[in-house]
Structure 1
Amino acid sequence: MENWFSADTWFGDIVAIGNDIIWTYILIALLLILGFYFTFVTKFVQFRLLGDMVRELFRGTDRSDFKKGKGTTPFQAFSISTAARVGTGNLAGVAVAISLGGPGAIFWMWLIALIGAATGFVESTLAQIYKVKDKDGFRGGPAYYMEKALGARWLGVLFAVLITLCFGLIFNAVQTNTIADAFVGAYDINPLIIGIIIAFLIGIIIFGGIRRIAVVAEVVVPVFAISYIIVALIVMVLNITEVPAVFSMIFSNAFGLEEVVGGGFGAAIMNGIQRGLFSNEAGMGSAPNAAATVYVSHPAKQGLVQSLSVLIDTIIICSATAFLILLTDAYTVGEIEGIQLTQNAMAAHLGDWANLFVTIAIFFFAFSSLLGNYYYGQANIEFISEKPIYLTLFRIAFLIMVLVGATSELAIIWQMADLFMGAMAIVNLVAIALLTKIAIRTLKHYQTQRREGKEPTFYHDSLSGLKNIESWDYESETEKKQ
């Protein structure tokens, strides 16, 4: 198994060729072009409505509807999607980007997040509009709006298969690989033991469904994200005189003006955008699956919350890791990669005890990511077929991949993650590009009500011409006006 899952076999060659085609010739251009397009057509929604984003997020701490079985709260959905985002992409992925692309990769991570926040708004708003009812409240995502808005179930099934393979199998291998790597680097623990422990804990939670996942995520994610940011800020304050030099290094290396480590213009862009997309997932089509679970009065509200999640993930948490690493010379010494680079940088700042902090942080970040990844797989398995046997088989495969990830080689797992992530992102980006007008009309409907001093509310006939709207029919706009 280990020899087959290796970067230097025929399998590794196929994965590398697929990545080269997708990332070099298709996806980077698509992400940047559509990111800027969505930013302009929404009139910079990710900056203009930042206040609304924060307001909707914290209004979402009300649990009354959740207790009544009406889906998740906006804060819980934010926690689930942030759980999937705030994982190895933030701690290990940033380290990989710097070691392969140089400090300039961070600039491109920032850029893809700033424009990607508009993409995140569009895809999550669409997911809310076309969500469907289920026993836990609601579910939805790209597969659902591909079927209902585009009338292309085949495309929805293709996306559902890709995201199930990507998140349900490959990404959870990435997460457990990073957890195991952290414990091996800090305490030399057998990675198989770590894999067994994680599989057992995850199994207890995932068999409880989305509501149990939501409860765990809304506790774990805020506590450890805030703790990690505080530690990073302490390090920056202790090294405040060096911070301007780090900014200078990031910007100069981003445009190939300074060769550092992997260096170079192309390497910085490629690794920055790859790891940036892996971290914030904007446009990938993953977060809309969480966004669709929310009971909310207007689809645009959840689009705004998910847009905020993109910004928090990369601009705040990924930047925290970047500065921890770049304020040392750890990334220029030896061949250390992944989470161990972040551990070494933290230890250089705060002493050996920091290894324990990073190890615990990566455990909870990656563990919460596993919960988010699992739910994305579940929602799409249920799109393909609602027969219980398929969900049971998926759960078993999910837990098996936890064990595979803990004991496999880092390089090939990251490469496979990039391949499947790129493929599903292309499918989703094409779909939301075709459905942009619906998201823009929904945003305008929301803003019109806000300007009139009303609480934005959406009904199945709020926008003329929409078809297959299942979850907004409890009252119509027409009936309300009578």
Structure 2
Amino acid sequence: MNDILSKVNDFLYTYPLLFLLVGTGVYFTVRTKGVQLRLLKDALKVILEKGEEKDGVKQVSSFQALMISTASRVGTGNIAGIATAIAAGGPGSVFWMWLMALIGGASAFVESTLAQIYKVKDGKDFRGGPSYYMEKALKKRWLGVVFSVLLIICFAYGFNGLQSYNMSSALEYYIPGYTDTIYPVFVGGIIAAATAAVIFGGVHRIGFITSVIVPVMAMGYLLLGAFTIVTHITVLPEVFGMILRSAFDFRAMFGGMAGSAVVIGIKRGLFSNEAGMGSAPNAAASASVSHPAKQGMVQVVSVFIDTILICSATAMMLLVSGVEGVPAKLDGIPFVQAAISVNVGSWGIHFITFSIFAFAFSSLIGNYYYAESNIKFIKDNKVLLAGFRITCVLAVFFGAQAEFSLIWNIADITMGCMAAVNIAAILMLGKIAFKVLKDYEKQRKMGIDPVFRPKKLGIMDTECWKEE
């Protein structure tokens, strides 16, 4: 089964998805005139805006929505995923991850803006995402259901099983023969119990947990990365030279294609920053803002935090160490631990272990939030939701004891299918996002805080946006 999944996985990313992701990112970059870079200053201002209070309930702020999406993006993919990419595709894969983030920022803007436009009320909160704009704007509820099912499989079971596995595998350094002991069962039980305590508490508990954990863990990890870079500053020119040589080396680019730096860089880049995949819009829809374009810009920042900052920190720590990754032998978490040990000593291994647990746990919570929004899209039923939460907890429990390559393949394939469905939708709906962006910029030039009036722009079925 795993051999079959590997072949499907390789084909999916070597041919259709590579062209879809890059092509869509370039198209949106051109049509929005590089919105991901042009309006970065505006995005940083929006993040500081406070959430509104309605009916005595404080709404999810732009910052909290940013943290929920960043919590999902910033996970073990930023550590184990980068190590796996460098071990398998060489240093050049880092360059293609950077490029994917810069181009993908435009796709992130479009999908998150659309999610804000077509969000719906969920009691006193908001929810939305690709399934919702597929139903409301494309009038294809069946397509929304297909997307929701793919996202649930990918995030609630694939990605969360993978996060749990990486948390568990981080302990191999401390316990000889760890995978052959009973410890993975106990570790899985503890992670599952902690996950249950948060997800049964609702969206506000999720927002609070992620807005606390994500900034703290990201800052600590970036400080370690900065320390490593400063103490190895003399080898940085060689490291950047190595990345560029490998990125544009013919064999690294095209040799074996499925194992090339280009494909692995794009695949791991997508797994890490999720731009265009349709996941982050679920968080973007939860925010209370005066104009949809604001949350579109905020999600661009999330992509950059993930790839340009945190993934780069991991890449630098690995490449300055001189330790070489070896596929299936020294990759993932063990590769990172070996490199950090060379860079800063054995204490760095303990810090990486802590980072893995913090990054992965925040991702578990962010991933669950996405899945819950899509379960509610299919059928908003309390009994169904309770049963779903139990299966999510079980996925976390069993993920801690799973087999590495099988989990990666399931996560990659479902992620690829999600991305294909979402990209098709946002390409069809892109003109709506362009219109909304133009409206935002027009109001900004007038010196006013942009307010969204959908009917004025000829946009219908926007139940959460009231005309003044």
Smaller-chain TM-score bracket: over 0.9
1:409–1:326 distance in 2 versus 1, CA, 3 Å: same
What one-letter code is carried by the residue in structure 2 that aligns with 1:145? Y
Deviation at 1:342, TM superposition (A): 1.0
| CA pair 265-398 structure 1, distance change in 2 beyond 3 A | closer
1:399 partnered with 2:393: yes
Q: Bigger shift: 17-26 or 429-438?
A: 17-26
Unmatched segments (≥5 aa) in structure 1 = 1-10, 477-482
Q: Describe the SS at the equivalent of 1:330.
A: coil
1:339 aligns with 2:333: yes
Output the CA distance in 1 between the equivalents of 2:160 and 2:230. Answer: 35
| Residues 234, 403 of structure 1: alpha-carbon distance in 2 compared, 3 angstrom cutoff | same
Where 1:133 maps in the other structure, the secondary structure is: strand
- Report the Cα distance in structure 2 between the residues aligned to 1:347 and 1:67, rounded to whole angstroms: 53
The answer to whether the Cα contact below 8 Å between 1:297 and 1:457 also exists between their aligned partners in 2 is: yes
Could you say what secondary structure the match of 1:77 adopts?
A: helix
Q: What residue number does 2:404 align with?
A: 410
> Aligned with 1:453: secondary structure?
coil
Matched-pair contact (CA < 8 Å) for 1:136–1:211: no
- Could you say if the C-alpha distance between residues 196 and 153 of structure 1 is closer, same or farther in structure 2, counting changes exceeding 3 Å? same
Contact 1:87 1:369 in 2 (8 A): yes
- Name 1:239's counterpart in structure 2: 232
C-alpha distance in 1 between matches for 2:300 and 2:152: 23
Tell me whether 1:170 sits opposite 2:158 in the alignment: yes
Q: Residues of 2 paired with 1:169 and 1:86: CA distance?
A: 17
CA, structure 1 residues 222+392, in 2 after alignment: closer, same or farther (shift >3 Å)?
same
Asked whether the 8 Å contact 2:83–2:336 carries over to 1, the reply is: yes
Q: CA deviation at 1:186?
A: 3.4
The code of the aligned residue for 1:155 comes to: L
Matched-pair contact (CA < 8 Å) for 2:247–2:262: yes
Q: 1:364 and 1:187 mapped to 2: Cα distance?
A: 20
Question: Superposition RMSD on alpha carbons, in Å?
Answer: 1.8
Counterpart for residue 29 of structure 1: 19
Counterpart position of 1:470: 463
One-letter code aligned to 2:131: A
1:93 matched to 2:87? The reply is no
* Alignment match of 2:125 (pick from 122, 132, 137): 137
1:191 Cα deviation after fit: 1.7
How far apart are 1:463 and its partner, in Å?
1.2
* Cross-structure match for 1:449: 443
**Aligned partner of 1:242: which letter?**
V
Q: 1:161 aligns with which of 145, 149, 174?
A: 149
Q: Which amino acid aligns with 1:104?
A: G
Separation of aligned partners in 2, 1:354 and 1:22:
37
**What is the deviation of 1:263?**
9.6
CA deviations on 1:123-150 (whole Å, 9 max, x unpaired) are 0000000000012410000000000000
* 1:66 and 1:73 in contact (8 A); partners too: no
Residue 49 of structure 1 is matched in structure 2 by 39
Q: Is the 8 A contact 2:67 2:210 kept in 1?
A: yes
What is the TM-score normalised by the length of structure 1?
0.93
Calculate the TM-score normalised by the size of structure 2: 0.95
Amino acid at match of 1:329: G
Matched position secondary structure for 1:161: helix
Task: Write the mapping of 1:265-276 to structure 2, written as runs, cut at 5 A.
Answer: 267-276=260-269
Report deviation, 1:71. Answer: 3.2
Deviations 1:184-213 (A, max 9, x none): 223456222111111001101100111100
Identity of aligned residues (%): 50
Q: Does residue 1:431 correspond to 2:431, yes or no?
A: no
What one-letter code is carried by the residue in structure 2 that aligns with 1:396? I
Q: One-letter code of the match for 1:25?
A: Y
AA matched with 1:322 = A
* CA–CA separation in structure 1 for the residues paired with 2:133 and 2:58: 21
CA apart distance, 1:266: 5.8
**Is the 1:256–1:263 Cα contact (8 Å) retained in structure 2?**
no
Matches within 5 A, 1:55-454: 55-59=45-49, 62-63=50-51, 65=53, 68-69=56-57, 71-188=59-176, 190-256=183-249, 267-332=260-325, 335-454=329-448
Alpha-carbon distance in structure 1 between the residues aligned to 2:456 and 2:156: 36
Secondary structure at 2:324's aligned position in 1?
helix
Q: Which runs of 5+ in 2 are unaligned?
A: none
1:15 aligns with 2:5: yes
CA distance in structure 1 between the partners assigned to 2:40 and 2:85 by the alignment: 28
Counterpart of 1:364 in structure 2: which amino acid?
Answer: A
CA distance in 2, matches of 1:186, 1:245: 33
